Amino acid sequence: MRSDKKTTPKPLKEELLSIFRLLAVAILTSGLGVGQALASQHHSLAAIAQEAKIYLEQEGGRQFGDNLSVEIQAPDPRLRLAACSEPLEIFSAPGARSFGNTSVGVRCAGLVPWTIYLRARVRVWMEVLVSRGALSRGDRVSENDLMLQKMDISQVNGRFLQHPSQAVDLELRRTLAPGVVLTQNMLRAPELIKRGDRVTLLARAGNLSVRVAGKALSSGALGDQISVENLSSRRRVQGVVSADGVVRTDHGALAAAGARLGDNSASSYAIPKDFIAAADPERVF
């Protein structure tokens, strides 16, 4: 039986295959051509620096408002970076400071990826405490010794102070010239007790307060733990400076009370219940 189905001549099939091959090659080479074209073009270094600056200004603005300025160190002009086919990604370098000398990263995730880091300086202007006049080591700071002045805090080494209450009545660790920014490490609590001072050892047990005389074996400020010799028992105890000439040491004071009452096992002494009941709210021994 005769078939009416038409068949494509062989030469035509080969011609179609050749066309398909040419199209595939064209598609592949066009993609390569884009990459090669991008590689042959260079990204503007000025544009990279500008985007990094904008990023730092925005990040710093969230923390410090408008009181800052940003300087970006220009990349090496010999640097050649392929033009990025994607928007640049700006990020903070690991461990970078939020102000002062810092660094910022710029990344391209395009067909020809690259990453660089730029150095920057972020200046932040804030009102901080400075010395009004010359101050000597050991001086107790008064409000008249201080004034507020707008400074670039990126130049300050240490934790700066912004309110007089953070410094008043504290003692200077070193001499200061006029106009020096006060930092936390320049100040310390004044020593209320000095080594060799006669002190009162104080302990409380319920409504009973026990006080005995002691001798400071080390100096200390409010809240410091120091060693004290109980002058009655000649035992050394540890206590916390709670006021001028007063050291709070529950264990030491109770041990001292035991020694005064003739109990040699003072370290494990317990005040008798009937003694506590009969004691005045403030009983001095």
pLDDT tens digits, one per residue of 195-216: 999 998 888 777 777 888 999 9
Return the domain boundaries, the chain.
45-123, 125-188, 191-278
Compute the average pLDDT of residues 204-231: 85
Range with the lowest mean pLDDT among 103-112, 217-226, 267-276? 267-276
280 pLDDT band, cuts 50/70/90, is very low
Q: pLDDT at position 93, please?
A: 83
Q: pLDDT at position 29, please?
A: 47
> Per-residue pLDDT tens for 139-150?
999 999 999 999
Q: pLDDT at position 172, please?
A: 93
Spacing of C-alpha 116 from chain mean position: 26
- CB proximity list for 93: less than 8 A, separation 6 or greater: 102, 103, 104, 105, 117
Our CA angle for 100, 106, 108, nearest 5°, is 175
Our CA angle for 42, 46, 51, nearest 5°, is 105
Q: What is the mean pLDDT of the chain?
A: 78
Among residues of the chain, what percentage have pLDDT more than 70? 73
Please give the class, per CATH, of domain 125-188. alpha beta
Q: Is the pLDDT of residue 274 over 80?
A: no
Q: Is the pLDDT of residue 83 over 90?
A: yes
Cβ distance 271 to 209 under 8 Å? no
Q: pLDDT at position 33, please?
A: 46
Q: pLDDT at position 13, please?
A: 57
Q: Is the pLDDT of residue 18 over 80?
A: no
16 pLDDT band, cuts 50/70/90, is low
Which fold, 191-278?
SH3 type barrels. (2.30.30)
Q: Is the pLDDT of residue 31 over 70?
A: no
> Per-residue pLDDT tens for 36-46?
444 458 899 99
Which two three-digit tokens encode residue 64? 């410090």
> Per-residue pLDDT tens for 124-140?
999 999 999 999 998 99
Q: Is the pLDDT of residue 118 over 90?
A: yes
Range with the lowest mean pLDDT among 114-118, 161-165, 273-277? 273-277
98 pLDDT band, cuts 50/70/90, is confident
> Per-residue pLDDT tens for 150-180?
989 888 888 899 999 999 989 999 999 999 9
Q: pLDDT at position 233, please?
A: 85
> Per-residue pLDDT tens for 35-73?
444 445 889 999 999 999 999 999 999 888 888 999 999
Residue given tokens 């970006």 in the structure block: 72
Name the burial class of residue 186, with classes exposed (0-12), middle (13-18) and buried (19+) by CB atoms within 10 angstroms of its CB: buried
Q: Is the pLDDT of residue 3 over 80?
A: no
DSSP output for 146-209: EEEEEEEGGG--S-B--SGGGTTT-EESS-B-TTPBPBGGGEEPPEEE-TT-EEEEEEEETTEE
